Amino acid sequence: MDFPLVTDPWFYAVAVPAVLMMGMAKSGFLMGFGSLATPLMALALPVPQAAAIMLPLLLVMDATGVASLWRERDDGLIRLLLPAALLGTLLGTFLFGVLSGKAVAGVVGALTLLFIAQRVLFPPRKDASPPSRAKGFLLGIAAGFTSFVAHAGGPPMSAYVLPLRLDPVRLTATMAVLFGAINLSKWIPYAWLGLLDARNLMTSLLLVPLAPLGVWAGVWLTRRIEPTWFYRIAYTGMALAGMKLLWDGLH
């Protein structure tokens, strides 16, 4: 009888750094880099299976991050973005078998790179108005949808929250609460779609000890890093994630 566990050594060679990187992204320190985690794991497994294995790990990371940062959240942003993101996950549930993960990755990657190019070529003035609430709602829907399909909700959500220039800890706490709720909402649809089978869950359980390590390290660094460097790292992560997602979509 086969043991219900992914046994390919190549999978663990990419999964271990992917889980640690996602944990640090959850802390805010490597914000933007988290969208690279599922594509990295997909080097060894199909995207749906990689996403299914990552989901329980995300819940552990979310619980760790929320416990550390709950008091610093921005309730106004959560009230705006969370309903939109949950609408996006509902959309992702019904379109999961219609749109390929490759197509979604390509679109998200292209839009992410366009956002980065716009910020570089046409940097906002210091007195520029913050992005509109309508834009936030639309990007929240996009974040929920891409998070459901490939755990790649970071770039759309970051495209709205990064220009707000919040304090790094406040931004990190808000993102932790948002994606904690989003990832919790995905549990029943993933089970309904048959993605949470014994092999995937056992593989997740094996990787669980790694999940909080990156979060703890990232929270420690986020509380100490200068805001300028925090945002430089975040935008760099978005750019790399955009290039990787676009590459996956085109190949």
Is 4 part of any domain?
no
71 pLDDT more than 80: yes
For residues 80 and 84, give the distance between their C-alpha atoms in angstroms, rounded to a whole number. Answer: 7
Q: Tell me: the pLDDT tens digits for 80-101?
A: 999 999 999 999 888 876 766 6
For residues 60 and 103, give the distance between their C-alpha atoms in angstroms, rounded to a whole number. Answer: 29
pLDDT at residue number 1: 44
What's the mean pLDDT in 114-127? 68
CB 120 within 8 A of CB 141: no
Q: CA triplet 127, 74, 126: central angle to 5 degrees?
A: 10
Question: Most distant CA pair in the chain: distance in Å?
Answer: 65
For residues 84 and 184, give the distance between their C-alpha atoms in angstroms, rounded to a whole number. Answer: 15
Is 85 part of any domain?
yes
Is 103 part of any domain?
yes
Q: Tell me: the pLDDT tens digits for 189-244?
A: 888 888 888 888 899 999 999 988 888 887 787 778 787 877 777 778 777 777 87
What's the mean pLDDT in 114-138? 75
For residues 79 and 92, give the distance between their C-alpha atoms in angstroms, rounded to a whole number. Answer: 21
| Number of compact structural domains in the chain | 1
pLDDT at residue number 147: 84
Identity of the amino acid at 56: P
223: helix, strand or coil: coil
Q: How confident is the model at residue 165 (pLDDT cuts 50, 70, 90)?
A: confident
Is 139 part of any domain?
yes
Expressed as residue numbers, the domain containing 37 is: 9-250
* Residue carrying structure tokens 């609408």: 87
Is 1 part of any domain?
no
Both structure tokens of 160: 């709205």
